[in-house]
Amino acid sequence: MSTGTIAAVAGAFIDGREHANGGDPLPVTNPGTGEVFAEVPGATARDVDTAVDAAARAGAEWSALAVSKRGEILGAAAHHVEAHLDELVPLLTREQGKTLRDSRIELTKAVDTLMHYVGLAKTLRGAHTPGLDPGVDGIVLRRPLGVVGAIVPWNFPTTLLCNKLAPALVAGNTVVAKPAGTTPLTTLRFCELLAEGGLPAGVFNVVTGSGSVTGTALVRHPRVRKIAFTGSTPVGEQIMALAAPGMKRVTLELGGSDPMIICDDADLDAAASAASMGRFYNCGQACLAIKRVYVFESVADQVIEAVAAKAKRLKVGRGDVKGSQMGPLHTAAQREEVAGQVARTLEHGGTLLAGGGPPEDPELEAGFFYAPTVVADPPHDVPMATEEVFGPALPIWRVADLDEAIARANASPFGLGSSVWTRDLARARQAAERIEAGYTWINSRTKVYDELPFGGWKSSGYGKEHGSEAFDYYTETKSVVFGSQS
Ligand code: NDP
């Protein structure tokens, strides 16, 4: 559906200015109203080539700067973005659907991540090993990879971009980013603001378009040395295969189905709040989210009742309407996917305690809304247990003890996040050691810290983002030996 004016957008930002893509126009839809409000031509393989070319040219000068100078330039550019948050927040809400509050949280975090790596720029140190042999020393050099392709999904377009952009740029690489075809606008403006804030032309470029055309062209491009990807596991697997020729480096941040374990000695009110917040924020469209709850039998009734009550109380509404706590799903297809997973689960058992379909409010009919949904005790082999549910639907199971909870938690192809709720330190430690996941929160949930490395185990990904470890994935090291062997 389209009403009102449809904005025409050039579709790319290359070498410090707008660039008109040559591909077919892709619609940008407001998920809260179903209205198409912009059309953006997709980048063809030729447009991608232009962007990679610009990034490669800019890389010569950028990589030669002192690392502290790169940090200084990026910091000034990030402050310029920060000064324009009031403009970016409604734009992100309009194209993504999330509430204005969540858009501000996301954009603030994106700038924070840039500033985190700006801070690290002055602390980078290398290794020096004296005495390898008599009179022989070794050092380890770090060199940027070159042009990095960053491919990002629609659920957090700016934070997921900055997780890649910040370490890549500080390490001396240049970047060509491809946002999701459905969320191009905030990323284009973000890029333009960084350029206005002093980031040199060509250091950061954006090409918008579909994954199949623009994304594939970026992954296949011979001068792109690394693909930093966040998205679904099936697409991550395709990208790993496409990147194999030439040994292109990859980091893959993929899907998750994070378990939450609630023990009988936990603060049950806090745990119930966390289950609700951790499942329903961003309308459940988060990689790190509470997606399966396992609660000890003796306290299960109390927890299940509390979570269902919270789900029913959540105010679902358009992202730009004051008071909305949960916005719509991002697309109609995404809503169908979640509705299908819930329906196929309930066919096999489980008790529906909240939601289970679109909300009844007629004002929300045109948008892609789905009510916060809670299902208790479905079988363990249904879609809500075995697949990633990327929407506001939470299954809860009763378990006998910690051993059963951990076994159930690990019986998933995914290994992204996890949380354990207990007052017993020994239990917490045991769970943290045995759960197969890249993150375990004890008595807290889902918050990612720039200070700590983050990356999924098993089908949830490969490589790390965040932490100083991220630099390892944007540099090559070289061992150099200074010696006098005869
Ligand atoms: P997709 O994998 O479908 O898309 C992600 C990005 O890849 C989009 O920009 C998409 O473009 C692009 N793309 C799709 N196909 C290709 C291809 N063949 N070659 C190159 N690029 C391609 O993921 P979703 O959009 O469904 O995003 C949600 C997923 O992301 C969930 O599984 C979620 O768990 C995961 N995620 C993981 C995170 C983590 O850190 N581990 C964080 C956040 C989300 P387009 O959309 O235009 O087709």
Distance CA(59)–CA(381), nearest Å, equals 50
Per-residue pLDDT, 485: 60
Share of the chain above pLDDT 90, in %: 96
Residue of the nearest CA to atom 38 in ligand 1?
A: 287
Per-residue pLDDT, 127: 86
| pLDDT per position as a tens digit, 405-426 | 999 999 999 999 999 999 999 9
Question: Residue 4: pLDDT band by 50, 70, 90 thresholds?
Answer: low
Residue 180 is classified by DSSP as: -
What's the whole-number mean pLDDT along residues 192-197?
A: 98
Per-residue pLDDT, 183: 98
| pLDDT per position as a tens digit, 352-392 | 999 999 999 999 999 999 999 999 999 999 999 999 999 99
Q: Which atom of ligand 1 is nearest to the CA of 456?
A: 41
Distance CA(211)–CA(198), nearest Å, equals 30
253: Cβ below 6 Å to ligand 1? yes
Alpha helices (H) in 221-366, listed in sequence order: 233-242, 268-280, 297-313, 332-346
Question: Residue 486: pLDDT band by 50, 70, 90 thresholds?
Answer: low
Strands 204-207 and 292-296: unpaired
Q: Which atom of ligand 1 is nearest to the CA of 253?
A: 41
Distance CA(327)–CA(322), nearest Å, equals 11
Share of the chain above pLDDT 70, in %: 99
| pLDDT per position as a tens digit, 33-73 | 999 999 999 999 999 999 999 999 999 999 999 999 999 99
Q: Which residue has the tokens 């639907």?
A: 393
pTM equals: 0.96
| pLDDT per position as a tens digit, 326-339 | 999 999 999 999 99
Per-residue pLDDT, 125: 84
| pLDDT per position as a tens digit, 240-257 | 999 999 999 999 999 999
326: Cβ below 6 Å to ligand 1? no
Q: Which tokens in the block code for residue 341?
A: 């997973």
How many other CB atoms sit within 10 Å of the CB of residue 448? 17
| pLDDT per position as a tens digit, 121-161 | 998 888 899 999 999 999 999 999 999 999 999 999 999 99
- Give 47-89 as a 3 state SS string: HHHHHHHHHHHHHHHHHHCCHHHHHHHHHHHHHHHHCCHHHHH
Q: Say whether pLDDT at 30 is over 60.
A: yes
Mutate to test the pocket of ligand 1, among 230, 330, 337, 449 (most ligand atoms within 8 A of CB): 230
Question: Residue 9: pLDDT band by 50, 70, 90 thresholds?
Answer: confident
Per-residue pLDDT, 137: 95
CA of 11 to the centre of ligand 1 (A): 19
| pLDDT per position as a tens digit, 285-308 | 999 999 999 999 999 999 999 999
Q: Say whether pLDDT at 2 is over 60.
A: no
Q: Which tokens in the block code for residue 379?
A: 């079988």
CA of 234 to the centre of ligand 1 (A): 9
Per-residue pLDDT, 412: 97
Q: What is the mean pLDDT of the chain?
A: 96
More confident of the two residues 484 and 47: 47
What's the whole-number mean pLDDT along residues 5-26?
A: 91
Q: Say whether pLDDT at 5 is over 80.
A: no
Q: Say whether pLDDT at 206 is over 90.
A: yes
Mutate to test the pocket of ligand 1, among 40, 210, 235 (most ligand atoms within 8 A of CB): 235
CA of 231 to the centre of ligand 1 (A): 3
Per-residue pLDDT, 17: 97
190 three-state secondary structure: helix
CA of 152 to the centre of ligand 1 (A): 6
What's the whole-number mean pLDDT along residues 434-450?
A: 97
Distance CA(400)–CA(395), nearest Å, equals 17
Question: What phi and psi, each to the nearest 5 degrees, are found at residue 176?
Answer: -120, 120
Residues taking part in catalysis = 164, 253, 287, 465
331: Cβ below 6 Å to ligand 1? no
